[in-house]
Amino acid sequence: MNDHSRSVHGIGMTSARTRARMIDRLVEQGIQNAKVLACFELVPRHLFVDEALGHKAYEDISVPIGYAQTLSQPYIVAKMSELVLQAPHHERVLEIGTGSGFQTCVLANLVDEVYSVERIAPLQQKAKSRLQQLNLKNVQLKMDDGFFGWPEEGPFDVIIGTAAPSEPPMELLDQLIPDGGRLIMPIGEEQQYLTVIDKVDDQITKTQIEPVVFVPMLSGVKNA
């Protein structure tokens, strides 16, 4: 074996082992959906964080992605993905807060069409190039203030938010399909809860899933 093949092989072995550990942990933490677990085995999480932090990508922690933002720990991304697949309809999904693009990539492997909005231009650009490299054909990205959703492409079966507003934004509720639409996002200020809002016959019911810590959802766009 020459040096090059040994190093490539070595990296592969390490990452297969760390990924397997991450999957075991997700199962222990209560993630059951086989499609979600398979997806976590497949998606190269380390490509979504800066190279220097690559070794931390599969640990049970959130990882900084710059601009005071973070990529959530694997459990939260998996839990939210499970809640997406448990929605009555989940073909067309809107994500608010593209960030690194990792949750976007996971969703793209689980549903038909993913739309994702990000308000910080450099993060959006980086996520765009990562997702292009992975050759995902079912993802549309937009640089904008996600409080307004993406009305031109709505309504959506599911809207998932990865930053926390103090109240569920009306514009997002309006962009859900009237019967069976679902909003999944952290909601709250000092204390946030991962919250599911289901819309049936235009009536909404709210369920708090668990306490969480997310970055706040902020208004307006940031170009640099």
- 215 is a contact residue toward ligand SAH (CB under 6 A): yes
At a CB cut-off of 8 Å and minimum separation 6, what does 177 contact?
A: 89, 155, 156, 157, 199
| Among 20-28, 98-106, 107-115, 188-196, the segment contacting ligand SAH (CB under 6 A) | 98-106
Would you call 116 a catalytic residue per the annotation?
A: no
Size of the residue set binding ligand SAH (CB under 6 A): 24
| Among 20-28, 37-45, 141-149, 203-211, the segment contacting ligand SAH (CB under 6 A) | 141-149
The helix/strand/coil state of 169 is coil
- 118 is a contact residue toward ligand SAH (CB under 6 A): yes
Q: Choose which of 145, 153, 171, 198 interacts with ligand SAH (CB under 6 A).
A: 145
Task: Calculate the alpha carbon distances from 126 to 65, 66, 80, 123 in Å.
Answer: 10, 11, 23, 5
Q: Choose which of 103, 175, 192, 195 interacts with ligand SAH (CB under 6 A).
A: 103
DSSP states of 83-136 as a string?
Answer: HHHTSS--SEEEEE--TTSHHHHHHHTTSSEEEEEESBHHHHHHHHHHHHHTT-
Q: Of 5, 7, 15, 72, which residue is the catalytic one?
A: 72
Strand partners, 79: none
Q: Choose which of 45, 73, 97, 141 interacts with ligand SAH (CB under 6 A).
A: 97
Q: Choose which of 33, 69, 73, 109 interacts with ligand SAH (CB under 6 A).
A: 69
Name the residues annotated as catalytic.
72
